[in-house]
Chain A
Amino acid sequence: MNYISIYNNRPVGLKEIPELGYDEFMNSNVDMLNGRADRHCVNYFGYETGAGVRLFCCIADDTTHQINISSSVVGKKSTLHSFTALNHNFENFEREIHENLGIKYLDHPWLKPFRKIEDYPFCKAESEELHEVGVGPIHAGIIEPGHFRFICNGEQIMHLEIQLGFQHRGIEQLFLQKNSLIERTTLAENIAGDTVVGHTAAFVNLWESLCGFAPVHSLDYSRTLAMELERVAVHTGDLAAICGDIAYQLGNSVYGRLRTPIINFFQEWGGNRLSKGLIRAGKINYPFTPELAQRLAIVLDTFEPDFDEISSKLFKLPSALSRMEKTGVVSYDEVLEIGTVGMAARMSGLMRDIRTSHPFNLYGSSIIHEPVIKRHGDVYSRTQIRKEEVRQSLGYIRKIIENVPEFRKPEEVQFTPAANMFAISLTEGWRGEICHCAITDNSGNLALYKIKDPSHHNWMALAMSVRNNEISDFPVCNKSFNLSYSGHDL
């Protein structure tokens, strides 16, 4: 076999991962993806060993529910043929490898900086008729820093280039420098402030599996519940922001108000509206009690009718529909080529949902998830996915709060990661698939920690979606994707 297949959250010894020659490694991984919509690359990164660089490629297979991992050792600073020339799924991964490890590629189509912000080579239009519009990195409002360079013909966008990296904090390095578990958990909470549960759950699932800690039902329960509550809260907030961008004041204020009781419930549960401090490896400091379940049921009872009413108004309002329909279209072929994940894949009919394909926590047992799929790939599809996923998540929450499990008192478990292991953890945050990978050295210390936010794949979909659209529709396209800058920049 060219690869080893493992399930989500099942660590594997480093020695068991097949080590191939680079050409074989490249061909086997590219062949695995070709013509298979049910497979995509979840992570591809390099790890500096003594003499060279060991490249790991993780391909998720949605049909077998496994992840196929293979590796190859190449010399430091060597010059290689690129995967991207054969399949564009690898584009960003190879740019990152090039930037971090100095590996050069012979035939990468566009080897521009990934997070480096100095001397960025922008695409230039040598034309009298076209003009360039630069937006950011400092924006009006509360948007994170990122630079957008449009090439426009009047009001029409011909090309958009997105430059990121302004938020680079070196999180992956910090994971290695900070030794205590609490420091690492706090780091995971701060990868992207809007996906606290998604990233923290990925980290603690990975850490528990790496240390051989048997998952406890009550922990899985609280993580699943928090994950779905976060989805409801952020999707509702996004709907408010989309209404704001099309200047529909009623939707903006009603959805905006509806987000508050959900995040306030997080405050009641764990003392933080962004659910920081709620999820910890091996324990939970804030047990979910039957009283909290009753409170949550009341919160949802008042949330649901208002949510349904404003949604029925928004999706029937002609002026709102005319802004959303056929705006920012990305076709099925395009999302497949880019390799988008999460909502940015499901909007165009591409089935990618880790809750179904690589179940974790309660998914696959208590919750049998059926992904919401739309076909048009426009702002309208993305807005509808949000509405329907909120309805779906509310159903899941109502179902699981019927049986609140017994919570044990928090006890300090001694975590010692096994030596020479490779662990991978996938979760489906509200934005899409989150992938954390860890490698331990001979003495069981972390030797490498790799984080991949869904935005890593999806930024390219945003750039494609605005082509041939009006420049004044860019904000609503951007908001309908709502990608993370800090999750990309790490």
Chain B
Amino acid sequence: MVSLILILLTSLFFMGVVIRTKSIASGRKGPGLFQPMKDILRLWKKGSVYSRTTTFIFRIAPTIYFSSVLMAIFMVPHGNNPGLISFSGDFVMFAYILATGKFLSIISALDTGSSFEGMGASREALFSMLVEPAFFVLLGSLALFTGHTSFISIFTTLHYESNISYMLGALATFVFFLIAMIENSRMPVDDPKTHLELTMVHEVMILDNSGFDLGTILYTTNLKFAMYGAIISNFFIGALPLEISIPLFFVVQIGFGIAVGIIESFMARFRMAHNPQFILILTSVSMLIFFGVLMVLGRFV
């Protein structure tokens, strides 16, 4: 429950932090922290326009996408406060609930029959597929390390004893950070600011969505960012009491937002063909974590 409230709160200003950082980095003042949320509220007040070529899939997809992310958030714990849903092996369900939402958004893009959206859908499907091994190797290693298989017990028993386990924490943060960037279609894999349909990944998939549906999709992106930020913060919180862990949670979230903004300000997007190579790096970093865990546990032969 604690984590749900914290994530919902973060989702209100997270994108504002990113946009503000980018504005300041390019010498502008930038909009207020809540401007992205105000834009979403404005969209929510509008009706949607549907193309005649689309079917019911296109209409239900934004809602299912939103609810899949919300359900995934239910499973994210905060320190030693479990999420609303918590059982052994919940991280597998976490990954596939997110995948369900993504599947719906991909087929809804195909449903529009536009050649742009088909292109975006194929890119998104490829990139998500490549991210999956990194996620599972990472969480599998952590499960092996702690001997537990649910988010809450993994994070509460995750404590750093030796230098190697500090390294594991740092690497896991790195992997989760980049998974969040890829899953949310941010730089350096995708450029959310572009107006060029041919270079987009996520934006081109939602070209036909309008009004309420568009607002829902945009808000889901904010939620997803806040959710990944919450998971990253769990690497640092451990079993700290709430009065320390809650400020620490926000520090991690804001730091995450600023880091996203800085990356997007000072580098160019990758060439599309280089993206799969880049995403596969994450799997190899996860493999490093796996071997690190084996070394710590003394099972490395």
Q: Which residue of A lies closest to B191 (CB)?
A: A247
Distance (Å) between the CB of A466 and the closest chain B CB?
10
Q: A253-B28, A319-B268 are in contact. Are A472 and B198 (CB under 8 A)?
A: yes
Contact with A along B253-275 (1 / 0, CB 8 A): 00000000000111111111110
Whether A323 and B115, one on each chain, are in contact in the complex, defined by CB atoms closer than 8 angstroms, is no
- Write out, one digit per residue, whether chain B residues 179-197 have a CB within 8 A of any chain A CB (1) or not (0): 0000000011001011111
Interface pair B198/A247, CB less than 8 Å apart = no
Q: Assess the A472–B187 pair: CB atoms within 8 A.
A: no
Is A319 in contact with B270, judged by CB distance below 8 angstroms?
yes
B198 touches A135 (CB 8 A): yes
Residues of B within 8 A of A248 (CB): 267-268
| A249 near B195: Cβ-Cβ < 8 Å | no
List residues of chain A with CB within 8 A of the CB of B119.
Answer: 133, 155, 471
Output the least CB separation between B11 and chain A (Å): 24
In whole angstroms, what is the CA distance A475 to B200 when docked?
Answer: 11
Q: Per a CB cutoff under 8 Å, which of B22, B187, B199, B274 touches A245?
A: B199
Instruction: List the A residue with the shortest CB-CB distance to B126.
Output: A155
Binary interface encoding of chain A residues 307-330 relative to chain B, with 1 for a CB under 8 A from any of its CBs, else 0: 000000000010110110001000
Determine the distance from Cα of A155 to Cα of B265 in the docked complex, in whole angstroms: 27
B157 at interface (Cβ–Cβ under 8 A)? Answer: no
Interface string of A137-149 (1 = CB under 8 A from B): 0001100000000
**Which residue on A lies nearest to B270, using beta carbons?**
A319
Structural contact, B196 and A320, CB atoms closer than 8 A: no
B residues in contact with A215, CB < 8 Å: none
* Binary B-proximity of A236-263 (CB < 8 A = 1, otherwise 0): 0000000111111110111001000000
B198: A residues at CB distance < 8 A: 133, 135, 471-472, 474-475
B116 within 8 Å of A (CB atoms)? yes
Contact of A323 (CB < 8 Å), options: B22, B27, B196, B268: B268
Q: Does B26 contact A (CB under 8 A)?
A: yes
A257 and B27 within 8 A (CB): yes
Interface membership of B25, Cβ < 8 A:
yes
Q: Which of A133, A247, A472 contacts B268 (CB 8 A)?
A: A247
Q: Which residue on chain B has the smallest CB distance to residue A243?
A: B268
Cα–Cα distance between A22 and B187 once the two chains are bound (Å): 59
Please count how many residues in chain B sit with their CB below 8 Å of the partner chain's CB atoms: 30
User: With an 8 A cutoff between CB atoms, is A76 at the interface?
Assistant: no
The one of B25, B27, B115 that contacts A131, using a Cβ cutoff of 8 Å: B115
Q: B195 near A320 (CB under 8 angstroms)? A: no
A residues 141-176 in Cβ contact with B at 8 Å = 141, 154-155
Task: Please determine whether B196 and A155 come into contact, CB atoms closer than 8 angstroms.
Answer: no
Q: Which residue of B lies closest to A253 (CB)?
A: B26
Determine the chain B residues whose CB is within 8 A of the CB of A317 once the complex forms: 267-268
- Would A247 and B26 count as touching, CB distance under 8 A? no
| B28 & A246 in contact (Cβ 8 Å cutoff) | no
Contact of A250 among B26, B116, B187, B269 (CB under 8 A): B26
Name the residue on B nearest A321 (C-beta).
B268
B8-24: contact bitstring with A at CB < 8 Å (1 yes, 0 no)?
Answer: 00000000000000100
Contact B196 A475 (CB under 8 A): yes
Assembled-state Cα–Cα distance A155/B199 (Å): 10
Q: Contact at B268–A155, with CB atoms within 8 Å? A: no
Q: Which residues of B contact A (CB under 8 A)?
A: 22, 25-28, 115-116, 119, 122, 187-188, 191, 193-199, 264-274
Q: What would be 30 A-B contacts, judged by CB atoms less than 8 Å apart?
A: A131-B115, A132-B115, A133-B119, A133-B198, A134-B115, A135-B197, A135-B198, A141-B195, A245-B196, A246-B269, A247-B187, A247-B194, A247-B264, A248-B267, A249-B26, A249-B193, A249-B265, A249-B266, A250-B265, A253-B28, A319-B188, A319-B268, A319-B270, A322-B268, A322-B271, A322-B274, A323-B269, A327-B271, A471-B119, A472-B271
Please name 12 further chain A to chain B contacts, defined as beta carbons within 8 Å, in addition to the given A133-B198, A250-B26, sorted by A numbering. A131-B115, A135-B198, A154-B122, A155-B272, A245-B196, A247-B191, A247-B269, A250-B25, A250-B265, A252-B26, A319-B268, A322-B268
